[in-house]
Structure 1
Amino acid sequence: MTTTNFSTDTFSDHTSGLYRTAARILNEAGIQINGAAPSDIRFNGPGVIERAFAQGNLGLGEAYMDGQWDSEHLDEFFHRLLKTGMTDDVKPVRLVLYALMAKFMNRQNIKRSKTVGEVHYDLGNEFYSTMLDSRMTYTCGYWENASNLEEAQAAKLDLICRKLQLKPGMRVLDIGCGWGSFMSYAAEHYGVEAVGVSISKEQIAWAKERYKDLPLEFRFQDYRELDEPFDAIASVGMFEHVGRKNHREYMELAHRCLKPGGLFLLHTIGKNQRNSYPDPWIDKYIFPNGDLPSIGQMGDAMDGLFVVEDLHNFGSDYDKTLMAWHDNFMKAWPQFEAQLGERFFRMWRYYLLSCAGAFRARDIQLWQWVLSKGGVPHGYHRSQI
C-alpha cells in the first residue's frame, strides 16, 4: 500500500485559525504536520483539520479510513497527542447532541444490547482466531512475567482464578463469557464447572464445540435474565457494554446471584473522568453503545451491595496486548484482504493502534475489582494469592 504526501498548502490555509490551533496542539505533543518523524502526521487529501475540529475523533478517524492522512507509528501519534490533554479542549458543536444522548438515553437496554455482538463479535471466528491467542481471549493480558501474548493471557486467566480463590467443585458464573477462555481455563486447571452468557451467537457456537467435553454451559442470553446462585462470579471485559444507566441493575444482579462467602471479580476498561461521553468513532465503527465507566460511577453502582476487597490497575499492559494483536492482524491480513477491503484494514488498524496509544498515555485504564458480600473474614490479601 502506498500513499502520496502533499504539501499542506494544497489543502489548508496555514494562516487560518483552525490550522494555527491544530499546529499548536500538535507541536505541544511533539508532532509536526507533514514532518519526517514516524509519529508525525502526513496529509494525503483535503479537509483533515476541518473534519477533526468539526467532529472530533469521529472526523479524524473517518478521514484516516478515507486515506486522507497517515502516520507511520499511529500508536505513538495518539500517545503523544493524548498525553498533552489538549484534545479535551476540542469540543465540536456537532457532537453536543451525541453527548446528551449518552447522558440521558439508555443506549444499552435489552432491545439494543445485542447490537455489539452482531456488529463486532460476530465478525467471524476465523478472523479473530488469527489475531488472538489460542483460547481466543479478547481482553487485556497480564505481562508482568510474560514474554508473548500466549503467556500473558494464560497469566491473566490464572490471576483471575487465584483472586477468586477457586476450588474443585465450585459453580462459577461468567458474565460476558466471550469464546470461553476463562471458563475453560478454570475448569481445566481448578476443577470448577461454569455457566457463561454472551450476546454473540458466533462466540457461543464456537465455545460449545471447542469445550464440549468440559463441564461448561454456554448460553446466548442477556445478563439481566440471570437469577440463580453461584459460588463465584467473573466478568472479564463485558462491563464496558453495560452503560451508566444500567450499572446499578448489573451490580444488583451480581449481588443476587453470588452466594454468601463468594467473591466477584470484575475486569473492565475504565476512564479517568465521570462526566464524559463515549468516543464517537469507537461507538460508530467498533463497539456500538459502549460506555466506559469511571471509578466514581462504579462506586455509586455498588454502594451498599459489595465490599471492595481489592482494586488492581494494570492498564499499561493493554498497550502491549493491543500491539501484539496488531502484529498478528498484520501478519494474517493477506488472507482477509479480498473479503474485507482497504477501508476495513485502515479502520481496524486505527482501532487497535489508537487504543494502544490511549493506554500508553494513561488516558484510559484497566481495572480488576474483587468484591465480596459483607467482607472477607480477617481481610482479603492479594499478596497471599
Structure 2
Amino acid sequence: MILSNPIDQHGLQSLFEDLLKDTDIEINGSRPWDVKVLDNAFYSRVFRQGSLGLGESYMDGMWECEQIDELINRVLRHDLEAHLDNKAKFKIGLNVAGAKLRDFVNPQSINRAKEDVSSHYDLGNDLFQKMLDKRMTYTCGYWHHVETLDEAQEAKLDLICRKAGLKPGMRVLDIGCGWGSFMNYAAEKYGVICDGITLSHEQAALGQQIADDKRLPVSFVLQDYREYQPKEKYDRIISVGMIEHVGPSNYDEYFRCAKRMLKDDGLFVLHTIGGKESADKTDPWIDKYIFPNGVCPSFVQLAQAVENKFVIEDVHNIGESYDKTLVAWCENFDKAWPELAEKYGERFRRMWRYYLLSCAGAFRARNINVWQFVLSHENLSQPTYVRQI
C-alpha cells in the first residue's frame, strides 16, 4: 500500500513504538500481551486502516499475540488515538475517523436485518454448541458467586426471571430469543409459557427441538419484531442481546412495538451491551466480519427512546461479567477447534479468536458495558417490580 506522505517502515515502527510506550506493550517483547510482528507491512496497514487494519492483519498472519484481550485492554485504556499529534497524522496520511470504534453502520431495514442475522447466527449450530454453555446462551453470563460458564449463564437467566417477577401461567415474549435458553429456563423453573421471536432459521430449528424434547410450552416465531402481531398482550417481555442489532434509527419503533405487546401491568426486562457515548456507527472490523450493522446503544439513546413510553424502574450494570464470559467462550472454542478446523479453516479460527478476545479486552477496559433495564408502563400506578441483584 502506498502512503500519501510516505515514510519508511522503520519510521512507522518507531512511531508505533512511541505510541505504545505508556501502555507497557512492546513490539516483539516477551510478555503475553506484547505484539510479535511477522510482516513489517503491519505498521502501514494499521496506521492506514485503524481497527479494520489491525483485525485483518491478524487474520492474515502479520502479527501474533498470546493474550489479545489484555493487548486490547491496554490500547483502549490509554486511548492511543488521542496521542497521535497532527504532524504524525499528516505523515502517515491517516484518516483518524476511520480508526475509531463505532465507525460504519447503516440503519436496519426489515430485509437487511434478516440478512445480517443470518450472516452471523446461521454460521453453524456446531460452532455455537461447542463454544457456549449447555443451554446455548449467547449473551453475557453473571459471574456472581459462581465458578463455571454453565453456572454463570444460569445465574444470569435466573436474575432476569426474578427481575421480571415471573409466576406460573404467565405468558412471556422473548424478543430476539436465540436458541431459546431464556425461554426454556423460565418455562422449566418458573412455569411460564413463552413465545420467542428470531430471524435465524438455524436458531429456531434447534431451539424448538430442544424445547419439544423437554415438552416445554415454548414456541419460536420466525419474524421481525416490527411485523409480529400477537393475538393477545403479554404479561412480561424479555429481550436479551437483541437491541444491539436494532440500530439507533429504529429504537423508537422498537420500544413502541414492545409497549404495544405488553399488558398494562406488565414489565419489560431489557439486557443490552451499552456504549460509553452516543453513536450510530460501530467498529469497522466488527461490522465487516462479525455483526453487520450492529451498534451498541448509549444510556442517553435508550433513555430518549423510552421517553413517554416506559418508566425506568431499575438499571443494573453487569459489564465486568462479559470479560469472563468471552474468555470462557474462547477457551471452549480453542478446545473444540480440532473438530471444527476442516469445516471452518484457519483464517476463520484467527478471525473468531480475535473477535472473542478483542471484545473481552474492550469490556475489561470498561469501553463498553452491559446494562439490564426493568421497564414498566408509564401509567402504572402500582409498580410490580422488586429490586433483585
- Deviation at 1:96? 5.5
Read off the aligned partner of 1:203 and give its amino acid letter: Q
Q: What code does the residue aligned with 2:9 have?
A: D
After superposition, residues 346-361 of structure 1 pair within 5 angstroms as 346-361=350-365
Secondary structure of the residue aligned to 1:196 is strand
C-alpha change, 1:267 and 1:155, in structure 2 (3 Å) is same
Per-residue CA distance 1:191-218 (angstroms, 9 max, x = gap): 1001101111000000111111211110
The TM-score with structure 1 as length reference comes to 0.91
Shift of 1:124: 0.9
Q: How does 1:169-208 map onto structure 2 within 5 Å?
A: 169-208=169-208
* CA separation of 1:89 and 1:302: change in aligned 2, threshold 3 A: farther
Residue deviations 1:152-191 (CA, integer Å, cap 9, x gap): 0000000000000000110000000000000000000101
Number of the residue aligned with 1:31: 25
Give, in whole Å, the separation in 2 of the partners of 1:376 and 1:351. Answer: 45
1:377 counterpart = 2:379 = no
How far off its partner does 1:98 sit? Answer: 11
Q: Is the 8 A contact 2:104 2:284 kept in 1?
A: no
Q: Using a 3 Å threshold, how does the CA distance of structure 1 residues 138 and 23 change in structure 2: closer, same or farther? A: same
Q: 5+ unaligned residues in a row in structure 2: which ranges? A: 1-6
Q: How does 1:1-385 map to 2 (within 5 A)?
A: 13-14=9-10, 16=11, 18-87=12-81, 92-93=94-95, 102=104, 105-106=106-107, 108-212=108-212, 213-228=215-230, 229-275=233-279, 277-374=281-378, 375=380, 377=382, 380-383=385-388
SS in structure 2 at match of 1:34: coil
- The alpha carbon displacement at 1:364 in A equals 0.5
> Which whole-Å CA distance do the structure 2 matches of 1:241 and 1:378 have between them?
29
**CA deviation vs aligned residue, 1:227-249 (integer Å, no higher than 9, x gap):** 33111000001110000110100
**Are 2:271 and 2:372, in contact at CA under 8 Å, matched by a contact in 1?**
yes
Listed one character per residue, the Cα deviations across residues 58-113 of structure 1 (whole Å, up to 9, x for unaligned) are 0110000000001111111111111112236679528659999957x42x111100
2:120–2:290 contact (8 Å) kept in structure 1 = yes
**Secondary structure at the residue paired with 1:143?**
coil
Q: Which runs of 4+ in 1 moved over 6 A?
A: 97-101
Task: Give how far 1:340 is off.
Answer: 1.1
Q: Matched residues in 1 for 2:383 and 2:280: separation?
A: 38
TM (norm. structure 2) is 0.90
Q: Which one-letter code corresponds to 2:227 in the other structure? A: E
Question: What CA distance in whole angstroms lies between the structure 1 residues aligned with 2:39 and 2:60?
Answer: 9
Q: For 2:192 and 2:76, locate their aligned partners in 1 and report how far apart those are by CA, in whole Å.
A: 42
On the 8 A contact 2:29/2:35 being kept in 1, the answer is: yes
The answer (yes or no) to whether the contact 1:81–1:87 under 8 Å persists in 2 is no
Indicate how the Cα distance of structure 1 residues 293 and 89 shifts in structure 2: closer, same or farther if over 3 A, else same.
Answer: farther
Q: Give the equivalent residue in structure 2 for 1:7.
A: none
CA apart distance, 1:19: 3.4
Cα distance in 2, alignment partners of residues 99 and 360 from structure 1: 16
Shift in Å, 1:115: 2.0
Percent of paired sites with the same residue: 52
Measure the CA separation in 2 of the matches of 1:50 and 1:35.
Answer: 20
User: Hey, what's the Cα distance between the residues in 2 that align with 1:88 and 1:176?
Assistant: 37
Contact 1:308/1:369 (CA < 8 Å) preserved in 2?
yes
- Bigger drift between 210-219 and 373-382 goes to 373-382
1:300 Cα deviation after fit: 1.1
Shift in Å at residue 35 of structure 1?
1.1
For 2:309, give the aligned amino acid. L
Q: Which moved more, 1:91-100 or 1:296-305?
A: 91-100
CA contact (8 A) 2:101 2:284 kept: no
Structure 1 residue 260 displacement after superposition: 0.7
Deviation at 1:329, TM superposition (A): 0.3
Q: What amino acid is aligned across from residue 67 of structure 1 in structure 2? A: G
Distance in 1 (alpha carbons) for counterparts of 2:291 and 2:381: 36
Worse overlay, 367-376 or 142-151: 367-376
Distance 1:169 1:378 in 2: 20
The more displaced of 184-193 and 38-47 is 38-47
The answer to whether the 8 Å contact 1:82/1:361 transfers is yes
Question: Is the contact made by 2:166 and 2:190 (CA closer than 8 Å) also made in structure 1?
Answer: yes
Shift of 1:381: 3.8
Alpha-carbon contact 2:103-2:284 (below 8 Å) kept:
no
